[in-house]
């Protein structure tokens, strides 16, 4: 177990290096630069030159990349050009907001995804299956930014149930937090819930067709015992593995969703950084988010190996 974990961590090192290289390199392809954005339309060439000098953008490439890695090893991702604070600080400030909404969204996803997926599988090819599958598919097929816009019109403008946007920290006002995060969380969850429904359904179908389920049924266990004791545990496995994917998709979606709802999380931070060419923020943010996801995936994989149903099946039956 420890060997496997260490092995995964070692394997992650070259990946992390490649990730950092991509993150550093990607931004240098960008035409236009931060100085023109900060300078605005009335900036003169001399002004732009001065801004570049102030920000270190006039350094040669090799100096910049050397600085990038030297700082990276010291845990320093540089300083945001526009916010004027260290990138790590900005990321740490914003993370709780996005993570909070992600957890909320994940909860919605799991409850909806698992229930509809299992119901669909148990009613294979019956109308409930069709309905659940259709729901899942519609969820996967709707552009979530479009859904977000439509939700604002329906729930804020016409019905007046929820605020149009903004964010209230949970620690200040839990009800306010719920009111401001529900629409973003639902918009983000819909795609995931659809994804999870499909995975749960197909895994469940596969599991239900396995020999040990047949054996269990043949032993005369009730359907609920079969599902509860054998099937469900096995369905959880692929669900655990897609958790990494789901979180990754959640973070992607948050760029647009947080912008639309005015939520000051990591998504809005990254979206703005990309649009305004905040080099250190984009590089640091891409690296930080991806490294975090990578480590999370290792944790998930280790857990998965630990819980692997095949091992348990072999040991049990």
Please give the residues from 243 up to 272 whose contact with another protein meets the rule CB under 8 A. 248-249, 251-253, 255-256, 258-264, 268-272
- Could you say which of 5, 88, 95, 276 contacts another protein (CB under 8 A)? 276
In angstroms, what is the C-alpha Rg of the chain?
24
104 Cβ contact list (under 8 Å, min separation 6): 181, 182, 185
Q: Specify whether the CB–CB gap between 226 and 210 falls below 8 A.
A: no
* Alpha carbon distance 156, 134 (integer Å): 27
CB atoms within 10 A of CB 188: 32
Q: Which of positions 137-196 make contact with another protein (CB under 8 A)?
A: 137-138, 140-143, 145-147, 149-150, 152-153, 156-157, 160, 163-167
What is the nearest approach in angstroms of another protein to the Cβ of residue 165? Answer: 5
Alpha helices (H) along the chain: 2-26, 34-39, 45-55, 61-73, 87-122, 127-141, 144-151, 174-208, 211-218, 223-225, 232-261, 266-275, 279-307, 309-316
277 lines the binding site for another protein (CB under 8 A): yes
Q: Does 63 bind another protein (CB under 8 A)?
A: no
Stretch that binds another protein, among 1-9, 67-75, 114-122, 276-284 (CB under 8 A): 276-284
Contact between 153 and 137 (Cβ < 8 Å): no
Nearer to another protein, 141 or 229 (CB): 141
CB of 168 to another protein, least distance (A): 10
**Distance in Å, CB of 80 to another protein, minimum:** 8
- Of 112 and 285, CB closest to another protein: 285
What is the smallest separation between the CB atom of 164 and another protein, expressed in angstroms? 4
């Amino acid at each position: 177990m420890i060997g496997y974990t260490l092995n995964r961590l070692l394997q992650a090192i070259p990946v992390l290096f490649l990730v950092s290289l991509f993150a550093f390199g990607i931004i240098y392809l960008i035409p236009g630069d931060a100085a023109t954005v900060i300078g605005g339309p009335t900036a003169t060439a001399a002004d732009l030159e001065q801004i570049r000098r102030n920000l270190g953008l006039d350094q040669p490439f090799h100096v910049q990349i050397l600085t990038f890695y030297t700082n990276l090893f010291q845990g320093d991702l540089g300083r945001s050009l526009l916010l004027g604070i260290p990138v790590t600080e900005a990321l740490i400030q914003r993370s709780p907001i996005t993570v909070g909404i992600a957890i909320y969204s994940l909860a919605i996803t799991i409850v909806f995804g698992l229930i509809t997926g299992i119901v669909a599988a148990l009613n294979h090819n019956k109308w409930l299956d069709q309905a659940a599958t259709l729901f899942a598919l519609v969820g996967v097929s709707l552009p979530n930014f479009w859904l977000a816009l439509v939700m604002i019109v329906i729930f804020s403008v016409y019905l007046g149930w929820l605020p149009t946007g903004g964010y209230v920290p949970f620690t200040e006002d839990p009800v306010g937090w719920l009111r401001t995060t529900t629409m973003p969380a639902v918009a983000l969850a819909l795609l995931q819930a659809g994804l999870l429904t499909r995975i749960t359904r197909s895994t469940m179908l596969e599991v239900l067709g396995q020999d040990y389920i047949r054996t269990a049924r043949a032993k005369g266990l009730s359907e609920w015992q079969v599902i509860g004791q054998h099937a469900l545990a096995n369905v959880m496995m692929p669900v655990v593995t897609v958790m990494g994917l789901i979180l990754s998709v959640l973070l992607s979606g948050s760029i647009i969703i947080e912008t639309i709802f005015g939520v000051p999380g990591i998504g809005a931070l990254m979206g703005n950084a990309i649009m305004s060419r905040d080099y250190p923020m984009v590089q640091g943010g891409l690296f930080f988010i991806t490294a975090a996801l990578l480590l999370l995936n290792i944790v998930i994989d280790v857990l998965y190996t630990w819980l692997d149903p095949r091992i348990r099946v072999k040991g049990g039956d």
